[in-house]
Structure 1
Amino acid sequence: MSEPGTHRTSPLSFVRRGGRMSEGQERAWEELSPRYRFDVPREHASTSVHPDARFIPAEEYGRTAPLVVEIGSGQGHAIVSAAAARPDTDFLAVEVYIGGLARTMLDADRAGIDNLRVVEANAPEVLETLLPEGAADEVWIFFSDPWHKTRHHKRRMIKEGFGAVVGRALRDGGVLRLATDWEDYALQMREVMDDAPEFARAYDGEWAERFDGRAMTAFERKGLDKGRAIRDLTYRRVAR
């Protein structure tokens, strides 16, 4: 479903959830936003991106460096860990839940991280227009909502046509990293990306090895504890 007042024609891959932020999250949102948050010009909805808006990495980070974009960064555990471990790389967290972004900024501040920015926005719009073409060196999508019910599969982020969307934002030779703990979605991801002319497999065998740059989060551990296998996929952007 689209957000109220929008003119979107494609179903969103998320539903906005309510709930109050903790006092610490509210304080982080107010105090740390000027440092970490890119204030997205909107189109119609609270998570939309105005088509003329641009996130220029060199301007936002004050340097030229490799850029990693995580779509659906959640509470930020994976991206904050990666940003701390790779100070020579810039990171962009894309998320629609402000509580998660507030937690991300709070943890980044505590770790003294300067190479991280956050964006509250619908991910396809970030990939389609907000980022300059070929701006990202890597795009990560870990454990996006699998939308279990068949009638909801149209809401899945990685579906037919997604290769062109994410391929626009990645530089030639850039890497797309995917992971899920839902077998049906993993099979769909693999089928979609194998068929995408913008990408080629960057792994051998049935599935890619677990990406060692992905911090083990409580979400991933919960899936493992329930006996669900974690499946990784890695693809490389072919030359335009």
Structure 2
Amino acid sequence: MSDNPLSVESETSSAGDSRPRRGIKSYVLRAGRMTVAQTRGLEEVWPRLGLSVVDGPLNLDALFGRAAPRVVEIGFGMGASLIEQVQAHPETDFIGIEVHAPGVGKLLDEADKRQLSNLRVYREDALEVLSRCIPEASLDGLQLFFPDPWPKKKHHKRRIVQPTFVELVRTRLKPGGTLHMATDWQAYAEHMSEVMAAAPGYRNTAAEGDYVARPAFRPLTKFESRGAKLGHGVWDLLFARTD
């Protein structure tokens, strides 16, 4: 489980701003065979729905042709959960970020088959996208579901949830916008909770304790379903930007 690959830059730039510099990665690129549908997504659908960091900052209203709520999901894996949200919420615009070609191709193929227009996709380092392309105070939500927990202590520095990451996310959220994280590793959930408790400008939306019940808008993933059968827990954290 917890196999969504993500990117992380763990250090701030020498200029002292919130943009991370090149640093430790939280993902490892894996080679894999591409199916016909995945190849079609990358070759035929990408020109219409794909985005690139080199294109620079986005004008989101122009990109989607409307003003609407905006949500970014980092590390969507094979895209099943994200495509379900995109189809269920046509009133919301979604941007997915994923580095692995098969997942990007699969998502694009499904979006095209379902004729979804409220989705755009980056196949890029997530921190590069956030720092260089997403405007400040433009997002209603950012989703980080089942990132790699890097369970060995020597690898904890590779975890994407670090103080620099949550501060960068905060600057991209609108006041009241939410950072929603979920993990099936309790130790990572506790790490997330500790990072968020120390992060300025956020409010935990949990009625009590550190975690919230899975919101109805977060689809049940195949990993979560499989884990539930094995008695594994899942922890959701939902924090809102306060300033």
TM-score (normalizing by structure 2): 0.88
Residue equivalent to 1:85: 88
CA distance in 1, matches of 2:150, 2:134: 27
Q: Relative contact order (C-alpha < 8 Å, sep 6+): which is higher?
A: 2
Give the structure-1-normalised TM-score. 0.89
Q: Structure 1 runs of 4+ off > 6 angstroms?
A: none
Aligned length: 224
2:34 corresponds to = 21
> 1:55-93 CA deviation, whole Å, 9 max, x = no partner?
221121111111010011111111111111111110010
Taking the aligned partners of 1:99 and 1:159, their CA distance within structure 2 comes to 27
**Which residue in the other structure is 2:191 paired with?**
188
Alignment of 1:223 onto 2:227:
yes
Could you tell me which amino acid in structure 2 is paired with residue 76 of structure 1?
Answer: G
Residue in structure 2 matched with residue 32 of structure 1 by the alignment = 45
2-side partners of 1:73 and 1:194: how far apart?
25
- Aligned identity (percent) is 38
Q: Which residue of 2 aligns with 1:54?
A: 57
**Offset of residue 166 of structure 1:** 0.8
Distance 2:130 2:202 in 1: 16
Cα deviations by residue, 1:85-118 (Å, 9 ceiling, x for unpaired): 1111100101111110111111111222110111
Task: State the Cα distance separating 1:226 from its structure 2 match.
Answer: 2.7
Could you tell me whether the CA contact under 8 Å between 1:163 and 1:199 is conserved in 2? no
Counterpart CA distance in 2 for 1:126 and 1:169 is 11
Match of 2:214 among 210, 217, 235: 210
2:15: which partner in 1? none
| 1:161 aligned counterpart, secondary structure | helix
The CA RMSD measured in Å over matched residues stands at 1.6
Question: Can you give the 5+ residue segments of structure 2 that lack an aligned partner in the other structure?
Answer: 1-6, 9-20
Post-superposition Cα deviations, 1:174-214, rounded to whole Å, max 9, x if no partner, equal: 01111000000000001101110021111122211112111
Contact 2:134 2:172 in 1 (8 A): yes
Q: Is the 8 A contact 1:97 1:120 kept in 2?
A: yes
SS at match of 2:163: coil
Residues of 1 paired with 2:143 and 2:52: CA distance?
A: 22
Contact 1:40/1:120 (<8 A) preserved: no
> How many angstroms does 1:121 deviate by?
1.2
1:133 aligns to 2:146 (yes or no):
no
Q: Please state whether the residue corresponding to 2:82 is helix, strand or coil.
A: helix
Is the contact made by 2:41 and 2:107 (CA closer than 8 Å) also made in structure 1? no
Displacement after TM superposition at 1:9 (Å)? 4.1
